[in-house]
Structure 1
Amino acid sequence: MSPSMTAEDDIATTAYVSTVTEDSIAEFGSSIPTPSLSHDETLRVNINPCLDSAKVQQIQELLTEFQDILTSLPGLTTTIHHVISENIPLPEDLFMQMSKSEIFSTCDLAKAYWQIPLEENRKKFTVFQTPLGLMQWTRMPFGLVTAPATFCRLMRLVIGDRQNFLSYFDDTMAHTRSWSGHLTALRTLFSLLRQHGLHANPVKLSIGFSKTEFLGHMISHGTLAPVQDKVSKLINLTVPTTKKQVRSFMRMFNYYRAFIPDFASIAAPLTNLLRKGSPEKVSWNQSCQQSFDTIKDLLSSDPILIIPDINEQFVVRSDASDTGLGAVLLQERNQHLMPCRYASRRLSPREYNYSVIERECLAIIFAVRQFSKFLAFRTFVLQTDHKPLSFLKAGAPKNSRLMRWALSLQEYSFHIVPISANKNVQVDALSRLC
């Protein structure tokens, strides 16, 4: 079906695609190339090699019981009506649910979108041309505008509001604090897949690990770290020569910016290259190279953040310098305050004219807004090395700008705790590097 395919690939792909397509007599169709597909359905499950033989035996018995959902293309038993949009969960919201989990298992659904049958009156809109004539999809193909929302709706119906389960498109995870609870969770997950006629890909099934990769992060014992394989690929990127390449570079590194305390300041020479009116071919100088190398070095230094626990109190530290703002969200772990998120930015030209107290108050506003989703509807501690800011809770300032900021903070419940500058050195460094 494609010139790049071997005869064997062509036959295998045609046979496999025929399970999710059918002949069509529609009056129109698209020219859509059919990709070469992998047909390895061998039951090769990734089981944690560190588990003792008794636990491995328990897993093998469980897999044998549910072997029917680990092979072949299934027929969905749940009806999914026409979906236009669906709320897609944010990765950080999913991470928060795993703050106390110790054991993880992950699975991908086999040919995920193809597990959803199309309604009869929708098939005609998916017609495509092949050397064998017109064909139309009988199951949901990749590329439909509403396909992601439809699949998220399906997984929301399957998983529901059950604890110990997460789903992000076709990535599904079971996470628990104990081994006995984990076996129960796996049995529940496999039962739900069987009940709804869904099948998992055995090759991508990982069971019983204390550390797992999920959504580009390595999760272990309540901590987050970048996945080293992905970091290695980013580190090996060559120097960009055009604005498009710089924009692509920044997009990739922005995903891990929460791990880099002074990302905004370090990346400033690169973001300056993207200013409106700047030439398409970038002028790469020493400061750009230093910024490029520093970001790579920081990501390769194994940065770690703790996963926020919404049941524990948050501590926010903020600071301002002559050039920028810095903030960090912390929580206590093992009697030590540990970072959950970093944030920083440079001052705008207008903000350079602010007084010291205005810049310090602006740093608080910046910090609270950055971490608002963690701080809303709960009491937190606000630590600052600028004592005059106690007016934010004690009374009304005469300065109209400070008054507006003080009013904007009234929706939050917090205690201001002054700290010495030497204890706030981490955030102070962030602001001064901007």
Structure 2
Amino acid sequence: MPDNAQDPAMMICYRECLSNLEKFNGIGEQKAVQFINNIERIGKMIDANNNILYCMCTAKLDGEAKRWYENNMALTQWENLKSAFLERFTTADSSSRIFEQLKERKQKPDETVTSYYDAIIKLCHEYDTNMSEKMMISWLENGIKDSLKIQIKRQMKSLPESARTTQIFPKIAKDEQELQKENVHEPEPTSAYMPYFTNTVSTTLRQEENIHTNAVEQPYSPQTTAPHESKIIHQQRTKFNETHRSQPRTRQSPSQQHLSTSRPQSSTFHRNTQQIKSKNVTATGSLNIKTRQTNTSSICQRNNHRTIDCYYKKAFRSGTRDGDDSSNKKINPSIINMIPSQSSTPIYINVQVNNKCQHAIIDTGSAVTIINQQLLKKIYHKKFIYKQKLHKSANCTSINIIGEIELEIKIQGHKTLILADVATNLITDLLVGNDWISNNNVIIDSPQRHIFLIDRYHRIVATAPFITPPDFQSPVLLVNEITLPPYSEKCIDVKIPSSMNNIAEALFEPTPNFHSKQMLLTNALLKVVNNKSRLTIINANDRQRTLSKNTKLGYVSHQPPVNKHLTLPVLSTKGVYEQFLTRNDLQQHLRQECYPQNIRDQIEQLTSHIKDLNHKQQLQQILWKHGKLFDLHQPSIIKATVQNAIETGNHPPIYTPPYRVSYKDEQIQRDEINKLLKQGIIEESTSPWSSPIVLVRKKDGTVRFCVDFRKLNNVTTKDAFPIPRIDDIFDHLSQAEYYTTIDFKSGYFQVGLDLKDRPKTAFSTRDQHYQFTVLPQGVTNGPPAFQRIVSQILGPTRWQHSLAYLDDVIIYSPTFDQHLIHLDDILNRLNDANFRLNVNKCHIAKTSIDYLGHRIEHGNIRPNAENIRALLETVQPTTAKEIFRFVKAAEYYRKFIPRFSIIAQSLHKYAPTTKEQRSQKSQSTPITLSDEELNAFNELKRILTNDLVLRIPDENLPFKIQTDASKIGIGAVLMQIHPNGDLPIAYLSKKLTTTQMNWPATEQECYAIIFAIEKWHKYLDG
């Protein structure tokens, strides 16, 4: 603990504050953000580290919050607990409400600066505990009185960067307020300014430069300049120093006024190639205009015009949302908007990004340029810098940034470079921000619908016209709260809060979570009028559903009229029984008309073996309910992340260069990597770790893409989580009559990997470096990590009616009705976890089933027929490796084979027990089997042709052991006494050592009994 924690007075204060802190129960009016702030504030008294903050927080949880923590004990780090806590107990409504309060909060006419300052700072902390100083200053400036706003901004900008703090803001505001008490004229209120993308913790809006008024100019019309013409645009230098400000100026008429901005050199661009001739302009280009003195403007503090006529006020008030097709902007250093425009459509232009043609949004409200990860995957790129951070968009949603990339953006062949952020959830492909605009002296001419790039000699080097916005998604929200009765259909009013005011055809796509809740919305073409439209929704549940106001139902995008899609008719609100006579009719309609065809085919395939129509209908109803599990259109990541799966301690990174491969294998690698990139399974990496790629040839001639993680595994701390014994699993199936086996689609690849473990999974090709974003196959802790997650998802159902061996899950029940309940329970758990299933390997509600290499049916267990067939088709071995492989495969079924050890005795000598025997050369050396060895090989194959069937142990029946001994080995059989006779449970055999062979027969018989009891004590004890 730090030194100041030893101060008794400080410790007393700390304990008192912690004791008085109200416990957080997660209900009522308690605010999660305020609770976390209080914890961190109290912790600062003793310089508490993250571990102490973690303990303080968990000790103060109660009720629902405490139950939430007990269910999330895996959150062992303070930062992880804090973010998960805020996500759980901070609703989107509260964040949006605070954001709206920040936007609308203005200083009241009779409100003091101090009171306004305290209110804004409180709202900022409630909205984002880590909000930057620049962002808070921006909010303070946004709501301050209009009479103070410009002066405060000017003074704040005159300060050094380090001195611009929230603490200095109230002092400057108070001073300005005192200075303006004698001012008679009040400026008109300014419009609220809202950029297309707002500031975030990571990005801040560039503050406005001082806006200067210029000499009389001709209106600028850049459209008259040829795109590739290097036209000189003369500049008139106007430095606003004290001497210049002392010179009187003449008020110009509105038609003569022209506003422009400049970079730090204060450049002003003219249209004509000749300098403007005026008797008021001297040879040096400075202004020398005589006029009478007027009152001082309270906005720019100059005395050559009144406040009401101030040009700055007009420029500032013309601001609209950045990214809009309008010249009514806040003036920015590199932007000139010529004529006010009323359009609110985002500005789109065509560009080339790394030589790929692409549309882009020009957004002066975004401080940075952002590219969508999906677009980045489609273009050639390099020098990806891994860096995780968050931005916030104007609608208060988070934009997840995973790194930075250097992009080459070309306009009409003119090349520009920019370091862009890479986002995973950007709603557009490319957003060009103020960093690119400023770096390239961009002029945005909204009336002429062009942008212009100006070089350092003030020549137009490139131009790009605005284009029609591409397909752009906007959310569809519910206008009013609605309640839907069971099995009913209703027409509802929806709103689209975007620029889609009046569109004849907008394509609606519902969010997928409604389908899992049996709330049905279909794709449809909507007519949008005044941002509103109508939709039809079906409640296919047996209970009523209530949807709150502003529930997000899906998205709409503008659709060209030539496209043909399903149009959903607008129906009047009616009960379902006016449309369908019975519930069965409704279900049939939903399945035949509303669900996707592939889901119908899959469910029919899974239930085709059910002969009882009533049973089949009941089973299909459960599968329809969880149809999302079979949706494989896109890869899915479950709602659980593997923590500490690759713990290497302080071991330095291990780098193994990639193996050289043939051109054919190189193409296979490239194809496989492209597939994994598209699925999001891997990503580009800058990790110092690297493991080589290995292509493994399979029996069918195809190639499996693998990564050799052996060196990484050698330094990884092993996970001790247990994998269940296969015989223990089978022992629990004795009373079951119905079985369901579930296979996960690419099981490991559905489990997200912790960010800190991803760099350790890196691998290299000839010229690229990648890392896994999900749990890769081949890491030593992969099986226990996956087993832990599946076990947690199954929860208390394990060993009751479900079991899992890695990604092989089995559900078992004694009756069909119970099996339906158990199946619904497990599918619901998997659905909640966001798992996806491999339909072709799933088997539902069967009375006999193959599981873990065995056939299970009515309490009996047999070897899997396919595995036995493979053993029987084995040709006579010619190498030690082939013999050993056959013996090990047969040994998997040794409990089915009496006297297995004695029969296979002569073949065991080929097992590689020394380093020399394990060498590739020794294993591949041709051999000839002796007569004894050949007889053993053939005898094992002969036994395998029999119907090898054993009974699964029943704990309610007594057990019986029979033993035998010979000169070379012992054997035993475990049986149970059934009404129709003794049935074998398992066979056991063991070869005797040389010493044991010399024992008397009675001792060998006794040894057989003791060995059998020790082996099967699990069944015999008690």
Q: State the TM-score, normalized to the length of structure 2.
A: 0.32
Task: Give the AA of the match of 2:626.
Answer: F
Q: For 1:415-434, what aligned pairs fall within 5 Å after superposition?
A: none
1:309 and 1:96 map into 2 onto residues whose CA distance is 8
Of 1006, 1011, 1014, which residue of structure 2 is paired with 1:361?
A: 1006
Residue 197, structure 1, aligned to residue 834, structure 2: yes
Match of 2:947 in 1: 302
Q: Deviations over 1:378-401 (max 9, x none)?
A: 2xxxxxxxxxxxxxxxxxxxxxxx
Q: 1:294 to 1:50 in 2, by over 3 A?
A: farther
**TM-aligned CA deviation for residue 233 of structure 1:** 0.9
* Runs of 4+ with deviation above 6 angstroms: 275-279
Q: 1:54 to 1:360 in 2, by over 3 A?
A: same
Corresponding residue SS for 1:310 = coil
The runs of 5 or more residues in structure 1 that have no matched partner are 1-14, 27-40, 379-434
Mean Cα deviation higher: 75-84 or 177-186 = 75-84
**TM-aligned CA deviation for residue 219 of structure 1:** 0.3
Q: 1:354 to 1:313 in 2, by over 3 A?
A: same
Q: Could you tell me whether the CA contact under 8 Å between 2:638 and 2:834 is conserved in 1?
A: yes
**TM-aligned CA deviation for residue 334 of structure 1:** 2.9
Match of 1:60 in 2: 620
Match of 2:789 in 1: 154
Q: Could you tell me whether the CA contact under 8 Å between 1:273 and 1:282 is conserved in 2?
A: no
Q: Deviations over 1:3-39 (max 9, x none)?
A: xxxxxxxxxxxx9xx79xx99657xxxxxxxxxxxxx
Q: Could you tell me whether the CA contact under 8 Å between 1:71 and 1:202 is conserved in 2?
A: no
**TM-aligned CA deviation for residue 276 of structure 1:** 7.0
Match of 2:1017 in 1: 372
Q: Could you tell me whether the CA contact under 8 Å between 1:25 and 1:134 is conserved in 2?
A: no
Task: Give the AA of the match of 2:868.
Answer: V
Q: Deviations over 1:157-179 (max 9, x none)?
A: 01123111011111111110101
1:272 and 1:122 map into 2 onto residues whose CA distance is 43
Q: Could you tell me whether the CA contact under 8 Å between 1:88 and 1:152 is conserved in 2?
A: yes
Corresponding residue SS for 1:174 = strand
Match of 1:230 in 2: 867
Corresponding residue SS for 2:976 = strand
Of 733, 736, 746, which residue of structure 2 is paired with 1:101?
A: 736
Q: Could you tell me whether the CA contact under 8 Å between 2:644 and 2:757 is conserved in 1?
A: no
Of 975, 981, 987, which residue of structure 2 is paired with 1:330?
A: 975
Q: Could you tell me whether the CA contact under 8 Å between 1:217 and 1:227 is conserved in 2?
A: yes
Q: Deviations over 1:48-81 (max 9, x none)?
A: 5243122122222211111112213323223442
Q: 1:346 to 1:203 in 2, by over 3 A?
A: closer
Match of 2:637 in 1: 75
**TM-aligned CA deviation for residue 244 of structure 1:** 1.8
Match of 2:606 in 1: 46
Task: Give the AA of the match of 1:349.
Answer: T
The runs of 5 or more residues in structure 2 that have no matched partner are 1-373, 387-597, 646-718
Q: 1:122 to 1:321 in 2, by over 3 A?
A: closer
Corresponding residue SS for 2:875 = coil
Match of 1:91 in 2: 726
Match of 1:352 in 2: 997
Q: 1:274 to 1:196 in 2, by over 3 A?
A: closer
Mean Cα deviation higher: 186-195 or 115-124 = 115-124
2:793 and 2:899 map into 1 onto residues whose CA distance is 41
Q: 1:81 to 1:262 in 2, by over 3 A?
A: same
**TM-aligned CA deviation for residue 281 of structure 1:** 4.2
Of 880, 883, 886, which residue of structure 2 is paired with 1:249?
A: 886
Corresponding residue SS for 1:246 = helix
1:118 and 1:322 map into 2 onto residues whose CA distance is 56
**TM-aligned CA deviation for residue 260 of structure 1:** 0.6
Corresponding residue SS for 1:160 = helix
Match of 1:11 in 2: none
Corresponding residue SS for 1:271 = helix
Q: Could you tell me whether the CA contact under 8 Å between 2:763 and 2:771 is conserved in 1?
A: yes
2:726 and 2:994 map into 1 onto residues whose CA distance is 34
Residue 316, structure 1, aligned to residue 876, structure 2: no
**TM-aligned CA deviation for residue 105 of structure 1:** 0.9
Q: Could you tell me whether the CA contact under 8 Å between 1:317 and 1:328 is conserved in 2?
A: yes
Task: Give the AA of the match of 2:839.
Answer: P
Q: 1:49 to 1:201 in 2, by over 3 A?
A: same
Q: 1:334 to 1:51 in 2, by over 3 A?
A: farther
Task: Give the AA of the match of 2:631.
Answer: T
Corresponding residue SS for 2:753 = coil
**TM-aligned CA deviation for residue 274 of structure 1:** 4.5
Q: Could you tell me whether the CA contact under 8 Å between 2:642 and 2:753 is conserved in 1?
A: no
Q: Could you tell me whether the CA contact under 8 Å between 1:211 and 1:219 is conserved in 2?
A: yes
Q: Could you tell me whether the CA contact under 8 Å between 2:964 and 2:1005 is conserved in 1?
A: yes
Match of 1:288 in 2: 933
Residue 122, structure 1, aligned to residue 757, structure 2: yes
Q: Could you tell me whether the CA contact under 8 Å between 1:113 and 1:139 is conserved in 2?
A: yes
Q: 1:202 to 1:273 in 2, by over 3 A?
A: closer
Q: Deviations over 1:213-269 (max 9, x none)?
A: 000000001111011111111111111122222111111110011111121122122
Match of 1:166 in 2: 803
Corresponding residue SS for 1:63 = helix
Task: Give the AA of the match of 1:106.
Answer: T
1:245 and 1:111 map into 2 onto residues whose CA distance is 30
Match of 1:382 in 2: none
Residue 178, structure 1, aligned to residue 815, structure 2: yes
Match of 1:339 in 2: 984
Alignment coverage as a number of residue pairs: 345
1:105 and 1:139 map into 2 onto residues whose CA distance is 27
Q: 1:282 to 1:185 in 2, by over 3 A?
A: same
Q: Could you tell me whether the CA contact under 8 Å between 1:114 and 1:141 is conserved in 2?
A: yes
Q: 1:297 to 1:53 in 2, by over 3 A?
A: same
Q: Could you tell me whether the CA contact under 8 Å between 2:957 and 2:978 is conserved in 1?
A: no
Q: Deviations over 1:132-173 (max 9, x none)?
A: 833222111212221111100011101123111011111111
Q: For 1:388-399, what aligned pairs fall within 5 Å after superposition?
A: none
Q: For 1:407-418, what aligned pairs fall within 5 Å after superposition?
A: none
Q: 1:276 to 1:101 in 2, by over 3 A?
A: closer
Match of 1:138 in 2: 773
2:991 and 2:753 map into 1 onto residues whose CA distance is 51
1:369 and 1:283 map into 2 onto residues whose CA distance is 38
Q: Could you tell me whether the CA contact under 8 Å between 1:48 and 1:209 is conserved in 2?
A: no
Match of 1:261 in 2: 898
Q: Could you tell me whether the CA contact under 8 Å between 1:46 and 1:204 is conserved in 2?
A: no
**TM-aligned CA deviation for residue 336 of structure 1:** 1.2
2:642 and 2:775 map into 1 onto residues whose CA distance is 11
Task: Give the AA of the match of 2:637.
Answer: G
Of 745, 749, 753, which residue of structure 2 is paired with 1:110?
A: 745
Q: Could you tell me whether the CA contact under 8 Å between 1:330 and 1:340 is conserved in 2?
A: yes
Q: Deviations over 1:330-358 (max 9, x none)?
A: 11223411111111223222112222321
Q: Deviations over 1:372-419 (max 9, x none)?
A: 3323x32xxxxxxxxxxxxxxxxxxxxxxxxxxxxxxxxxxxxxxxxx
Mean Cα deviation higher: 49-58 or 324-333 = 49-58
Give RMSD over aligned pairs.
2.5
1:273 and 1:78 map into 2 onto residues whose CA distance is 45
Task: Give the AA of the match of 2:639.
Answer: T
Q: Could you tell me whether the CA contact under 8 Å between 2:643 and 2:753 is conserved in 1?
A: no
